[in-house]
Chains A and B, each alone.
Chain A
Amino acid sequence: MPVITVTQINKYIGSILKNDRNLQGIMVRGEISNYVKHFRSGHVYFTLKDSESAIKAVMFASAAARLKFEPEDGMSVIAAGSLGVFERDGAYQLYVNDIIPEGAGKANVALEQLKKKLRKEGIFAEEHKRPIPPMPKKIGAVTSLSGAAVRDIINVLSRRYPLGEIYAVNAQVQGEGAPESVCAGILKAEAAGCDVIIVGRGGGSSEDLSAFNTEKVAYAIYNCKVPVISAVGHETDFTVADLAADLRAPTPSAAAEIAAPDITLLYEKIALLERRAERSALSVLDKSTDRFVALNARLTAQSPENRLKLTAERLSAFDKRRDTAFLRYMDRLERQLEEKAARLDSLSPLKVLSRGYSLVYKGEKLLSSSEALKKGDKIKIGFGSGGAEAEITDKW
């Protein structure tokens, strides 16, 4: 039997594939996963899979550049190309020259269906979300103990919350058996008496995160007796674990920050309580002082000395009022007298005579008419100053 080299066998298989019309210029339906675009060459590598099987695929930069969309993991597509052998690795793969999208990816559809089902069952219900204890005593971390996530959680909590205790449970976070392992970890942390549990892992592809997109894990989180914070490192879609958790954190570090308060805040809280205690104690003291001052003032006001002073003051006030009232009365009398004298003066007959009028008497009788006079009567005339006697010569 002739001995051949590895290269020869790979080349031979390659030539068989190339000459098989069933493997050249074909269309393959599948779902894209592990999609990677090599940043320098522009070549695109991915796996095309269906529910049972997978095949490696490569698309060279020239063909990839013609695509009108950006393929992504989970997308259902039809890939057009030919089968060939990658001789270096002895692997066959689909050399793709075009990709046609086929609606939403199948895995995506399944995930959406699972989310819909769980939502219907109330696993994501807001009413079920429990508050994170403000000062947890024991914080559970369910993740891979060899991963970066657990280091991040320990680092953050050591720095921010030395009061606490961390109970880190190892869980397999990807691959076969991961969902069961995560569920078991949650139960262990719960049994260990944790009062809040962080469940998660660092970022990864959608396949790496698939354990966190399972019904089992969603239910384990939902059924956990203490609040659960999900920390599945990814930014776009929420996993079902995120939706079932009481709180979602974007990364394990963020989860640790949410799980417990920062010690500096606790120091501030103490200082604030101290200030409030001092202020209110002082205010009680102030109030007592004010009451004392007020009572003391009322007391001194009632001392005999003060009362005498008060009476004397009142008396002198009476005196003053009496004096002013008397003076005012006298003033008024005086004014009235002056007015009357002035009026009397203006009415005096002497005043009239001084303006040229005269008084005429017959005997002792003052006359106001010539009626009683006859020729030859003697009359007396009184002037403003002096008088005269006269004889009537005529009358009318």
Chain B
Amino acid sequence: MEEKLTFEDNMTRLGKIVSELEKGDIPLEKAVELYGEGVKLSAACRKQLDEAQIKITEDDGGMEK
């Protein structure tokens, strides 16, 4: 499931988790759960960067030159 999300999606979700945690007035159980998800997401983001491979398409459209 994580595989399908883009790097940007994962980063956005990670950012939201951090903001939620930084509010501070959340129950401990919730904090532990969010932190666990954050750790997973950051690992997924890092993996996506490690494995990223640029894709290049050249469209010369049958134009001369």
Query: Which A residues have a C-beta under 8 Å from some C-beta of B?
Result: 135, 137, 144-146, 154, 157-158, 161-172, 181, 184, 188, 192, 263, 266-267, 269-270, 273-274, 276-278, 280-281, 283-285, 287-288
Contact = CB atoms under 8 A, between A and B. Distances in A.
Given A135-B7, A135-B8, A168 B22 contact: no
A188 to B, nearest CB: 6
A170 B38 contact: no
Name the 5 nearest CB pairs between A and B, nearest first. Answer: A280-B21, A162-B52, A284-B31, A281-B35, A170-B60
A277 B39 CA distance: 8
B56 to A, nearest CB: 5
B61 A166 contact: no
B17 to A, nearest CB: 7
Contact of A274 (B8, B31, B42): B42
Interface of B: 6-8, 11, 14-15, 17-18, 21-22, 24, 26, 28, 31-32, 34-35, 38-39, 42, 45-46, 48-49, 52-61, 63, 65
A293 B18 CA distance: 27
Nearest to A160: B54
Contact of B55 (A165, A273, A280): A165
A172 B22 CA distance: 53
A393 to B, nearest CB: 117
A277 B38 contact: yes
Contacts of B59: 167-170, 188, 192
Nearest to B44: A270
Nearest to B55: A165
Contacts of B28: 284-285, 288
A316 to B, nearest CB: 43
Contacts of A137: 6, 8
Contacts of B11: 135, 266, 269-270, 273
A161 B54 contact: yes
Given A144-B65, A170-B61, A172-B65, A157 B39 contact: no
Given A266-B7, A273-B11, 5 more contacts: A137-B6, A192-B57, A266-B49, A270-B46, A276-B21
B46 A267 contact: yes
Given A274-B42, A280-B21, A285-B31, A166 B65 contact: no
A307 to B, nearest CB: 32
B25 to A, nearest CB: 9
B26 A284 contact: yes
B14 A273 contact: yes
Nearest to A168: B58
